[in-house]
Homo-oligomer: A and B are copies of this chain.
Amino acid sequence: MHNFLAERIYGIDTSEIRKVFDLAAKIKNPLNLSIGQPDFPVPQPVKEAIIKALQDNKTGYTPTAGLIELREAIQAFLSEKTTANYLPQNIIASTGVASILFLLFQTLVEKEDAVLLIDPYFLIYPALVRYHEAKMVTVGEDFTKEEILSLEEKLRLEKKKLKLIIFASPSNPTGKILSREQLTELSALAERQDAVIAADEIYCAFDYEKKHVSMASINSERTLTLNGFSKSHAMTGLRVGYLAAPMRYAEIVQKMVTLQQYTMVCAPHAVQWGAITALKTNIDSELKEMKKRRDLVYNKLSAVTSLPYPDGAFYVYPQVPIDSAEFVTQAIEQRLLLVPGYIFSANKKSVRISYATREEILEEGCEIFCKIVNENKER
């Protein structure tokens, strides 16, 4: 069929996470620590706002960029959270951050452009880099100034300019929150290279001791802030995410809006009203619960292996003694579902565990994880 379908479509593979999802469906009573969605329900006020919107017939097209009320609420939220002042006309809502990322790559990334990811990275980033035939470069999440400089030297030798820097902090899959110093290094890099920064803050509601710092507070003029409601308000299936741009990148947003006219058209209308309410709805009790789970999992796992300290989000990313794909296969045999680390990193010896689930499951899952680690160590 290679001559039948468009060549570009062979540049993308089924997400490994989805493969684990599919497996999960076949296993009886699985211990599912693979899934990247909170187990708490959409907060009641958010549900009520969506229901009211439906009852009030807020079901027709919204402006392509999203309801002005939503974009104003996002402006207010980001004004409070960051030192940036994003204007509503430079904000676009779409059907989730994944849609936002695709619109952004289509708008900005050309074949052969260099795109910087922080390894481990969220798996959609490298997939989009490949799909757009761009060049992926990486630094590790504990990068120092020296590493950034040596990356730049490499780019110079290859006569490449950096087009885009993209990362999630807190990180999926490690939970790492980038420090103010690291963000400042990225900001300086963007200035030197005239690069755009896309700061994916979808997990920013989940920070524990170490508080999340927005890239936009370090360099608002270079930073596109990406966020949504899937993780913070458990709205993964309801599909609203957004991007906010500084004035200098107004044209990026305009072109994303134009492309959206022909693709997603708009984020789901009634749900946009729920998103407005979500921006005013705190998740303090959910956060407290999540921290308890984080501590439980971190304590159990760090007794048998090493892992980056999980500052935020709801993932840990422990090292395993064998190749991650093989480890995941052994885990599945004991009905434990994990995501193999090779999809998040060039380093193939870690796995991702999501702790967004009940304590009993976490207890049992961690026990099996530790057992498999120990068995493989002994070999």
Contact = CB atoms under 8 A, between A and B. Distances in A.
Contacts of A255: 5, 9, 12
Contact of A42 (B57, B131, B234, B264): B57
Given A54-B42, A106-B9, A238-B59, A261 B15 contact: yes
Interface string A251-293: 1100100110111111111110000000000000000000000
A9 B265 contact: no
Contacts of A263: 98-99, 102
Contact of A262 (B60, B64, B127): B127
Nearest to A25: B63
A237 B6 contact: no
A356 to B, nearest CB: 11
B57 A265 contact: no
A61 interface: yes
A341 interface: no
Contacts of A15: 258, 261-262
Nearest to A58: B237
A42 B251 CA distance: 35
A107 B259 contact: no
A378 interface: no
A64 B190 CA distance: 35
A98 B268 contact: no
B5 A108 contact: yes
Contacts of A264: 95-96, 98-99, 239, 264
Contacts of A58: 237
A14 interface: yes
A148 interface: no
Contact of A61 (B6, B54, B237, B269): B237
A332 interface: no
Instruction: Give the interface centre of A1, A98, A237, A239 by most chain B CB atoms within 10 Å.
Output: A237
Contacts of A258: 9, 12-15
Interface string A13-52: 1110010010000000000000001000110000100110
A128 interface: yes
B234 A59 contact: yes
A109 B238 contact: no
Closest 3 CB pairs of A and B: A237-B269, A102-B263, A268-B268
7 contacts: A12-B259, A15-B258, A95-B265, A98-B263, A98-B265, A99-B264, A239-B264
